[in-house]
Structure 1
C-alpha cells in the first residue's frame, strides 16, 4: 500500500532515530504515538501532508484523546480482536496528563525534525505547551517494609534467591531493572566493588558501586548460581534464558502483595536515590550513578523529599549547630 507523504516522513524519521542509536523503547514510543496521530489527521481532517498540519490540529487531537479515554484509539482495528482492550478495567478511563505530555513531546520532536529538514515552512508545534501536571510524592519503601519484602522470596529455590539478590542490588546501586538483568558474571569487580553496566538507557557504559554487605551476598549468590546454570548472565531463568523485565516485575508485584506493599523496580531505584540524598550524598554524584544526562534531570526527578525528611536533613547539616557559640 502506498504511503502518504506524512507516513513516508515518519518512516524516514524513525530511520534517523535508529542512526542516532536511540533505545528500542524510545523508538517504539515514537512509532506508536506518531502513527496514531497521523491516523487521526488522515481520518478526521483528511490531512496527509506535513505543511497542511496546523497548531489547531494538535490541540484538537489532545482533546480527542482526552474525550475518548484509554485504549480507545488504535492504529489497526484488527488488534482489537486480538488484544480485547474493552475488557480492561481501565478501558475508557481518563488518559493522564503525564501520558498526554509524552504524546506532545513525541509530536514536537517529529515536527522539529521536519522543520530542520526543511519539510515544513511553519512549525506547528512552536506555540504548543506541555500540560501542567501535579507532582506526586514518590512512595518511600521503609527499612522494615524492605526486610519483609525480601522475606517473601524462597531462598532455597534458585528463582527465589535470584529475585532476592536482584531486589537488594537495585536498592544498593540504583540501577535500572533492564540494566540489572543484562549483567554478566564477569562484569562484577569484587576488588573495587563495582559493576560495569553495558546495556544502559543512554547506550553508554557506566559503573555502579556496591556495599560490603552486597559484596558478601553477591559472592554467595554467584557460587549458588553455578550449581544451577552455566550461562554468563548473572540473573538467568531456570531455563538458562534471559529473565525479562515483565516477568521480574510480575514476581516482584506478587511478593509485595503478600505483605500489602505496592512495589515495582523503578520505585526501588527511587528509594535508592532518596536514601542516598538523605545520607548526605550530593546531586552530582547521584546523577552519575543513576546514568542521567545532566544534574538537572536528577534534580527534577528526585528532589521531592517530604517535610519530615527535609527537617531531618536540616538538623544534620545546620551551620549554627556546628559552631561553638
Structure 2
C-alpha cells in the first residue's frame, strides 16, 4: 500500500520523534496519472489504506464510466448545491422553491438514473401545475425554464464532482417564451396610479425610489440605513444577477424619501409579500 506519513514536507518513518503528529498521505500512479494527496481524517495506517482504496475505486469508476448508483439528487443538493447557492446567489428564497418543486418529482431518485426523458417528464408536470400566486393560471414558460435551469446547474456540478459523465439536461430544450410586453401608461393612467399609491404611504415611497434609482426590487428591499451615505449622496446596493455590490448616486427626490423613511423607521422595508400588496393597492 502506497501510504506514508509526512511531516513538514518530508516523508518520515516510524522512528521519527514527531511520527504521531504527522499526517498520512497517499502516493499512487494509476493509468499514467499520479494520485498524491493528504488524508487529514486518518488516524491509523488502516484508515489511511481504506481511504486509499476508496480514492482508487472512485478514480477507476470515473475512468471506466462506472455510474454512481448511490448518490441521490436530494443528497447531492444538500451536500454540494446548497453551498454553491450560498456562495453565488442572492435570491436564495427562489432557489429553495425550485429545489422543493424538483424534489417533489424526483423524490429519492439517484443522479445516475435520471435520464433526459425524466427531465422532460418533470418539465411536463410543471406545465400542468397551478400557479398559487395567480389562481386559475399555470406556471409561465419563463418560470419553468428557470426551474429547469436550476436542475441543469445541479447536473453540471455533479459532472464537475465526477459523479456524472454527462448532463442529461443538455438534450432538453427550453420552452419558447413570449416576447416581453412593451406597454406604456398614458397620462390618465399615470395620474390614477399615483392617486391610488398615495393611499399606501409605504408602497408609494417604494415606487418613488424605484423610479429614481436604477435598482432591482430585491436591491431596493435590502436597503438599510447603514448603506446610505447622505454626505456624498450615494447608497451601497447588494449584488444582483452575478454583479458585485456597487455604489449608486442619489438624486434629491430619492434622498428626501430615504430621510423620511429613516425618520419613520421604515428601513429595511417592512414588506413581506410585495406582490400581494401591489395587486391589492
TM-score of the superposed pair, with normalisation by structure 2? 0.61
For residue 172 of structure 1, report the CA deviation from its aligned partner: 0.8
Q: Mark the CA change 1:36 to 1:215 in structure 2 (over 3 Å): closer, same or farther.
A: same
Listed as ranges, the matches of 1:17-56 within 5 Å are 17-23=84-90, 24-39=92-107, 48-56=109-117
For residue 152 of structure 1, report the CA deviation from its aligned partner: 2.6
Match of 1:286 in 2: none
Structure 1 residues without counterparts, runs of 5 or longer? 43-47, 72-84, 236-241, 256-325
Whether the 8 Å CA contact 1:199–1:205 is kept in 2: the answer is: yes
Structure 2 residues without counterparts, runs of 5 or longer? 1-69
Compare the two structures and name the one with the higher helix fraction. 1
Whether the 8 Å CA contact 1:17–1:27 is kept in 2: the answer is: no
Counterpart among 206, 223, 234 of residue 267 in structure 2: 234
Q: 1:196-242 deviations in whole A, cap 9, x for unaligned?
A: 224756583222233334434544x25xx53x54xxx535xxxxxx5
Whether the 8 Å CA contact 1:115–1:122 is kept in 2: the answer is: yes
How many residue pairs align between the two structures?
210
Q: Mark the CA change 1:252 to 1:56 in structure 2 (over 3 Å): closer, same or farther.
A: closer
Larger Rg: 2
Match of 2:149 in 1: 105
Counterpart among 162, 165, 174 of residue 202 in structure 2: 162
Q: SS where residue 151 of structure 1 aligns?
A: helix
In 1, the alpha carbon distance for the partners of 2:258 and 2:186 equals 23
Q: SS where residue 15 of structure 1 aligns?
A: helix
The root-mean-square deviation of aligned C-alpha atoms, in Å, is 3.2
In 2, the alpha carbon distance for the partners of 1:142 and 1:207 equals 33
- 1:70 equivalent to 2:130? Answer yes
Compare the two structures and name the one with the higher strand fraction. 2
Match of 1:9 in 2: 76
Whether the 8 Å CA contact 1:169–1:214 is kept in 2: the answer is: yes
Whether the 8 Å CA contact 1:33–1:106 is kept in 2: the answer is: no
Whether the 8 Å CA contact 1:55–1:128 is kept in 2: the answer is: yes
For residue 109 of structure 1, report the CA deviation from its aligned partner: 0.8
In 2, the alpha carbon distance for the partners of 1:52 and 1:113 equals 16
Farther off after superposition, 103-112 or 173-182 = 173-182
Match of 2:64 in 1: none
TM-score of the superposed pair, with normalisation by structure 1? 0.54
Q: Structure 1 stretches (4+) deviating beyond 6 angstroms? A: none
Counterpart among 135, 155, 169 of residue 89 in structure 1: 135
Whether the 8 Å CA contact 1:184–1:234 is kept in 2: the answer is: yes
- 1:60 equivalent to 2:93? Answer no
Match of 1:251 in 2: 277
Match of 1:131 in 2: 175
Higher RCO structure (Cα 8 Å, ≥6 apart): 1
